[in-house]
Amino acid sequence: MRRVVMLVDNAVEGDSRVQKTARSAADAGWDVTLIGCAHVDAERRWRLGDAEVRVLPLAAVAASGRDAGSRDGSGLRGVSGLRSVSGLRARLVARGGLPLRAARLARRPVEHAEVRFWRARLRDGAWRRLEPGLWDYERVAGPVVDDLRPDLIHAHDFRMLGVAARAVDRARAAGRDVKLVWDAHEWLPGARPRRDNARWLPAHLGYVREYVGHADAVVTVSDTLADLLVRDHALPDRPTVILNAPIAATTETSAPDLRKRCGLPPDTPLLVYSGAMAVQRGVDTVVEALPLLPGVHLALVVADPAAAYVRQVVARADRHGVGDRVHVLPYVPHRQLVAFLATADIGLIPLHHWPNHEIALITKFFEYAHARLPIVVSDVRTMAETVRATGQGEVFRARDAADLARAVRAVLADPARYRAAYEGEDSPLPGWTWEAQAERLDALYRRLLTPIR
């Protein structure tokens, strides 16, 4: 049995694409170990079907300190002038001499100078100085990958690409031929930086450019993103598109009922938003639309109902006088989610315009579709084009509460018209299943690992 090691920069739980990839590959006969890296107290292990999951703790390496230049032999040290200015800003903030917001603005010239300096000196390798925390993933996961001696490494998202590439190089130096698949979950140039500094994005862009050439194959989440990756990295082959589609055949015998969880009768109009909550995801627009939709309720299905931003949204609903029509519920297991959502009337995708929002068919899009929900989506390009083409919902202008309300009223006036898009020979649903995506991935693995005669 050929061994596949998958790498991801999170704790696995909550990442349905990663879980489905690991489980379906194991179901197809591969010996799969999924390695996550996260800030946990100790290593965690469990199984997803026949796949083994190991989540390794990052906390130990973070606490032990870093020497970013030692691993790759660069021998470079920081620029004393730049570091001293940064240190001064930090001391001023700590002593109350510079407000935090002003300090953030004041440090930007220093951060941009750091980026220019290290980019000029190390080019794409500047990430070693600008984002040295990337080495933590190498220190934690690298030795484990080496011990597992995989035939193929599947690196999820951008942080694990370098870890996988270096493991492949070590294996090949030892005489073993290991293949590398990079799974690009998002378009990095259009991503929202995960830290508030000027170094994060250029560092990670350089990191990806340094290692993308090591990949034997690239997979990604949409045709639009596949085209961008070919353009950005001059890839010799177009990436294989593996949609973030849900599992059609579930082993769950029952699932909770969203409408019952909200305490609503069958004839009460119910909108649902399922997924991560952040300003750019547009839930505030939905709350602002509720006063224009008398009697319509909203369910928010989120990872942490007590999270600060979720509380802010609920407080906004209270200020608009619609707090009694907003229901916050926790996630259910991803294999139950489609059945859980099915008792709503409309699935909402109210995204703001942001580069990565324009190019993807996101997970909740397919989950709503398999729940046979009409979809009301903002006019982000790829999903708006799809909804218009299939007739499965309505499109509204992003951040326009009145237009969102118009779209909701149109769907509620004739829901059968929109649900009909999921029926008959022209239904897109058979191709929008994880089972169909898993067949593509299995075929790719087999092609990579079949000897050329």
Q: Which of 403, 336, 346 is nearest to 375 (CA)?
A: 346
Phi, psi of 93, deg, nearest 5? -65, -45
What's the mean pLDDT in 14-18? 90
Per-residue pLDDT, 100: 52
At 434, list the tokens.
Answer: 């994880």
Residue 143 lies in a domain: yes
Residue 152 lies in a domain: yes
Instruction: Classify 5 as helix, strand or coil.
Output: strand
Residue 427 lies in a domain: yes
Residue 449 lies in a domain: no
Q: How many domains would you assign to the chain?
A: 2
Tokens 């130096």: give the residue. 173
What's the mean pLDDT in 382-391? 96
How far is the C-alpha of 67 from the C-alpha of 61, rounded, in Å?
Answer: 11
Residue 339 lies in a domain: yes
User: Do residues 407 and 304 both lie within one domain?
Assistant: yes
User: Do residues 51 and 143 both lie within one domain?
Assistant: yes
Q: Is the pLDDT of residue 66 over 70?
A: no
pTM: 0.83
311-346 residue pLDDT tens: 999 999 999 999 999 999 999 987 899 999 999 999
How far is the C-alpha of 227 from the C-alpha of 221, rounded, in Å?
Answer: 11
User: Do residues 365 and 427 both lie within one domain?
Assistant: yes
How far is the C-alpha of 271 from the C-alpha of 407, rounded, in Å?
Answer: 12
Query: Using an 8 Å Cβ cutoff, are 421 and 388 in contact?
Result: no
Q: Is the pLDDT of residue 67 over 50?
A: no
The enclosing domain of 275 has a CATH number of 3.40.50.2000
C-alpha of 204 from chain center: 16
How far is the C-alpha of 162 from the C-alpha of 284, rounded, in Å?
Answer: 37
User: Do residues 220 and 308 both lie within one domain?
Assistant: no
Residue 195 lies in a domain: no
Residue 199 lies in a domain: no
Q: What is the mean pLDDT of the chain?
A: 90
Residue 11 lies in a domain: yes
% of the chain at pLDDT higher than 90: 79
User: Do residues 220 and 310 both lie within one domain?
Assistant: no
User: Do residues 332 and 232 both lie within one domain?
Assistant: no
244 contacts: CB under 8 Å, gap ≥ 6:
16, 17, 221, 361, 362, 363, 366
**Secondary element (H or E) of residue 363:** helix 363-370
User: Do residues 275 and 313 both lie within one domain?
Assistant: yes
User: Do residues 35 and 163 both lie within one domain?
Assistant: yes
Q: Which of 262, 266, 338 is nearest to 298 (CA)?
A: 262
At 257, list the tokens.
Answer: 């009922």
Query: Using an 8 Å Cβ cutoff, are 328 and 273 in contact?
Result: no
Half-sphere exposure of 140 (CA within 13 A, CB side): 31
What's the N-to-C CA distance of the chain in angstroms?
A: 21
Between CA 376 and CA 383, with CA 382 as vertex, the angle to 5 degrees is 20
Name the residue range of residue 390's domain: 258-431
Eight-class DSSP state of 398: T
How far is the C-alpha of 184 from the C-alpha of 155, rounded, in Å?
Answer: 9
Per-residue pLDDT, 360: 85
